[in-house]
C-alpha cells in the first residue's frame, strides 16, 4: 500500500496532535514538519522525519500529498492556507465563523488554478457540529437547533484572564447550563439568552499581594468575554492549577428538536454530543480523516475549496465502499 | 422555483409519512402515489394528487423526478427498487442489514444502464446511525462503537407476540439498559451480551379465558425474538393498549469511545442519539431529504446505486453552498 504523504505546517498543540493522529492511521505517513521557528529548536516525536523551514516549503512540491495546516485562525491561516493551496492539497481548521466565506473564497481562488483541493474549517466546531446542524435541519425542516459548548477549556477566555493586572496564570471553563439543555430537549423551542446557555468558571492564580477583589471584579465585568455571563472566580495556587487543570478538555452538544405530522403533532429530538479529553488532539484526528478525503478528491480530478459539507462520508474512511456497506451500514 | 417532482410507491405508515415530509419541504411536490391496491380504496391526504396502479407506473416516466419507495424490506423492495430504478431515480429504506450488499448490487445493475440514481437503505438505522458509526470510526480509529436501540416499539416483535395462541393484540418495546450505556461511556470497551444491552417489555391483550401463564412462557422462550433477553410481559385490556400504546416511538444511541495521544492516554466520547415520536414519520423525513440528493446527483450526470455514505451532506439541503457556509458551518 502506498501511504498518503502528509506534511504538517505549524507545530504547537494542534500540530503535535496531527502528528499523533497520522501515526494512528495506517494509510498515512508523516513526511515533514514545517515551522517558522528555527528547525533546530523544534523537537518532534516521530523519528527520522525532518523539521523544515516554512520558507523552503516550495521544494516539497510533488513530495507531499496533503499539507495539514495547524496555525491560528487570526493571522496564520488567512495567509497560509491560500499560499499553500497554490502548491499542495491542504486541510485547515479555520474557526473564525464570521470570516469563513472570505477564507473559502481566497482558498478557492488559489486552489482552482493550481488543481489542488483545500478543505477548510475542519474540526468539531466548525466541523462535526456543523455537520450535525446540517443533517438535522435537512431531516427536520420544521424545528430549531441549539449548540452548547463545554464543559471545556476556552483558550481565548483563559488568555483574557491572564491579561488582567495581578493575574499570574488562569484557566477558564465554559459550562453549559443543564436547565437550558433540558428546556431545549423538551421541544419548547425556548429563546435563550447568552447568560441562560452557559456559565463561565474561572480558576485564577494571583500574584503575591494582588488585590483579589479587583481581579474578580475586572474579570466579571469584562465586555464580550464575561460581562454577559454568570461567572465564578476561584483563586488557587499555581500548584493546584498545574495539578488539577492541566488538561485541555472540551466538548458540547448540538440538539435539534422538530415536528412532523399532519399538524406538527409528532416531536423528535436529534442530539449529538462530544466529550473530549483533549480539544487539540480531537481536532487533529478530524483533520487527519479529512486529509484522506482531500487526497482522494484530488486524485479524482477535483479542485478548489471545500468544507465538511461537500465531502461524502465514505471519502473519510480507509475502508472500501463494499466493506463499509457490509459492516457499518 | 421548479419543484422536485416526487412519487410515492406504497401507502402504509411510511408512505403516509413521506407524503407529510414532502409537504414540509418547500422545494418538493407530490405528483402521484402508486399502490398495488385498488386506487379507489386508497385515501391520501393531499388534495388533487392521483393514486395510481403500480402496474401503470411506466406511464409516468419523465413526469416524476424521484420515486420514494415505501414497501417492506422482506419482499417488496428487493423486487421493486431495481425494477423502478430502471425507469426513475429512487430512494428506499431497505433495512435488512445482512442483505444490503446484494440489494446494492441489484439496484446498481438496474440504475447504471438507465442513467438513474438509486439511494438505498435510507432512514435512521441503516441511515443516520450508520453515518455516525462511520464518522466516529474515521475520527477515532482506535476505539469501539456501540449501538443501542430504544426505547421504542419493535413492529417485528409485536407481530411475533400477536402470533402466540390466545393473544389478541400486543405491543413490544425495546429498551436499552442504562447500566450498559454507562459502561460504554466510561471508555472501558465492555464486551456486552445481547441480554446485557437491551430489555424487552411486552404489553399483551389476551383473549377471554386464555391461559396467561402459557402465553407469558411462550413469549419469554421464543427463540431469536425473546429467549436471549430479559423480557417482561404485562397483560392489559384492549382499551389500555389503545390508549397508552398507540404511538410508534423509537430511537436509540450510537456511542463511540476512542483514545488518542502518544500512548492512548487521552479518552474521547462521541455520542449520537435519537428520540423519535414516530419511527415511520422520522424515517420518511430522512427519505425526503435524500430524495433531494438523488435528484441533484442525477442532474449532475451521476448514476448507479448509492448509500448515505456516498452522499455529500450539502446535497441534502435546499440551501445554497454559500448560505450553508455563512450560517451553519
Cβ distance B142 to A24 less than 8 Å, yes or no, reads yes
Please return the burial class of B220, using the count of CB atoms within 10 Å of its CB with bins 0-12, 13-18 and 19+: middle
Condensed to tens digits (0 to 9), the pLDDT of residues B138-176 reads 999 999 999 999 999 999 999 999 999 999 999 999 999
> Distance between CA B142 and CA B131 in Å, rounded?
18
Most A CBs within 10 Å: which of B313, B322, B323, B324, as the mutation test of the A interface? Answer: B313
Among B106, B128, B129, CA closest to B118: B106
What residues of chain B lie within 8 A of the CB of A19, using their CB? none
Cβ-contact B132, B252 below 8 angstroms: no
Instruction: Report the Cα–Cα distance between both ends of chain B, in Å, rounded.
Output: 25
Complex ipTM: 0.97
H or E, element range at A204: strand A198-206
pLDDT at B310: 98
Q: Is A314 on the interface with B (CB under 8 A)?
A: yes
pLDDT at A276: 98
Average pLDDT over residues B96-122: 97
pLDDT at A1: 72
- A-B CB pairs within 8 A amount to 200
Q: Specify which residues A235 forms β-bridges with.
A: A204
Q: Is A289 on the interface with B (CB under 8 A)?
A: yes
Cβ-contact A140, A260 below 8 angstroms: yes
Q: Is A285 on the interface with B (CB under 8 A)?
A: yes
Q: What does each of the 329 residues of chain A score in pLDDT, given as a tens digit?
A: 799 999 999 999 999 999 999 999 999 999 999 999 999 999 999 999 999 999 999 999 999 999 999 999 999 999 999 999 999 999 999 999 999 999 999 999 999 999 999 999 999 999 999 999 999 999 999 999 999 999 999 999 999 999 999 999 999 999 999 999 999 999 999 999 999 999 999 999 999 999 999 999 999 999 999 999 999 999 999 999 999 999 999 999 999 999 999 999 999 999 999 999 999 999 999 999 999 999 999 999 999 999 999 999 999 999 999 999 999 99
Most B CBs within 10 Å: which of A4, A127, A129, A260, as the mutation test of the B interface? Answer: A260
Distances (CA, A) of A171 to A211, A229, A244, A299: 19, 16, 10, 44
> Distance between CA A231 and CA A195 in Å, rounded?
9
Q: Is A282 on the interface with B (CB under 8 A)?
A: yes
Determine how many CB atoms are found less than 10 A away from the CB of residue A192.
Answer: 17
Among A175, A221, A224, CA closest to A197: A175
Q: Is pLDDT above 80 for B246?
A: yes
> Distance between CA B36 and CA B71 in Å, rounded?
11
Q: Is B96 on the interface with A (CB under 8 A)?
A: no
> Distance between CA A225 and CA A127 in Å, rounded?
23
What residues of chain B lie within 8 A of the CB of A103, using their CB? none
Percent of chain B with pLDDT over 90: 98
What residues of chain A lie within 8 A of the CB of B118, using their CB? none
Nearest chain A Cα to B267, which residue?
A277
> Distance between CA A57 and CA A228 in Å, rounded?
44
Cβ-contact B122, B95 below 8 angstroms: no
Condensed to tens digits (0 to 9), the pLDDT of residues A27-41 reads 999 999 999 999 999
Q: Is pLDDT above 80 for B196?
A: yes
Average pLDDT over residues B300-326: 98
Residues 6+ apart with CB under 8 A from B170: B158, B161, B162, B202, B203, B204, B205, B241
Q: Strand A198-206 vs strand A230-235: parallel, antiparallel, or unpaired?
A: parallel
> Distance between CA B132 and CA A201 in Å, rounded?
32
Please return the burial class of A89, using the count of CB atoms within 10 Å of its CB with bins 0-12, 13-18 and 19+: buried
How many Å lie between the alpha carbon of B309 and the closest alpha carbon of chain A?
5
Q: Is A155 on the interface with B (CB under 8 A)?
A: no
Peptide bond into A151 cis (omega under 30): yes
How many Å lie between the alpha carbon of A74 and the closest alpha carbon of chain B?
17
What does the CA dihedral A8, A10, A12, A15 come to, rounded to 10 degrees? -20
pLDDT at B1: 72
Among A155, A151, A230, CA closest to A194: A230
Amino acid at each position: 500500500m502506498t501511504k498518503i504523504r502528509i506534511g504538517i505546517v505549524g507545530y504547537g498543540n494542534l500540530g503535535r496532535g496531527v502528528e499523533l493522529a497520522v501515526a494512528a492511521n495506517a494509510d498515512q505517513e508523516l513526511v515533514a514538519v514545517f515551522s517558522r521557528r528555527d528547525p533546530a529548536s523544534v523537537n518532534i516525536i516521530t523519528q527520522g522525519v525532518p523539521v523544515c523551514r516554512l520558507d523552503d516549503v516550495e521544494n516539497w512540491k510533488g513530495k507531499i500529498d496533503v499539507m495539514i495546516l495547524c496555525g491560528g485562525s487570526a493571522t496564520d491561516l488567512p495567509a497560509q492556507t491560500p499560499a499553500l493551496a497554490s502548491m499542495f492539497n491542504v486541510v485547515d481548521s479555520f474557526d473564525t465563523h464570521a470570516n469563513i466565506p472570505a477564507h473559502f473564497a481566497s482558498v478557492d481562488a488559489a486552489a482552482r488554478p493550481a488543481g489542488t483541493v483545500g478543505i477548510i474549517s475542519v474540526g468539531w466546531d466548525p466541523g462535526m457540529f456543523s455537520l450535525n446542524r446540517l443533517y438535522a435541519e435537512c431531516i427536520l425542516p420544521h424545528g430549531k437547533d441549539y449548540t452548547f459548548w463545554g464543559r471545556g477549556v476556552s483558550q481565548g477566555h483563559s488568555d483574557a484572564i491572564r491579561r488582567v493586572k495581578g493575574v499570574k496564570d488562569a484557566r477558564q471553563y465554559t459550562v453549559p447550563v443543564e436547565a437550558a439543555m433540558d428546556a431545549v430537549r423538551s421541544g419548547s423551542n425556548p429563546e435563550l439568552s447568552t447568560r441562560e446557555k452557559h456559565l463561565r468558571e474561572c480558576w485564577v492564580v494571583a500574584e503575591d499581594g494582588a488585590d483579589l477583589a479587583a481581579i474578580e471584579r475586572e474579570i466579571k465585568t469584562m465586555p464580550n468575554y464575561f460581562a454577559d455571563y454568570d461567572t465564578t472566580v476561584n483563586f488557587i495556587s499555581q500548584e493546584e492549577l498545574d495539578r488539577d487543570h492541566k488538561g485541555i478538555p472540551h466538548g458540547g452538544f448540538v440538539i435539534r428538536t422538530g415536528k412532523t405530522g399532519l399538524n406538527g403533532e409528532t416531536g423528535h429530538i436529534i442530539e449529538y454530543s462530544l466529550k473530549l479529553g483533549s480539544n487539540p488532539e480531537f481536532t487533529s484526528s478530524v483533520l487527519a480523516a479529512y486529509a484522506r478525503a482531500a487526497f482522494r478528491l484530488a486524485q479524482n480530478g477535483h479542485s478548489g475549496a471545500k468544507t465538511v459539507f461537500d465531502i461524502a462520508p465514505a471519502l473519510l474512511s480507509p475502508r472500501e465502499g463494499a466493506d463499509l456497506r457490509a459492516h457499518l451500514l
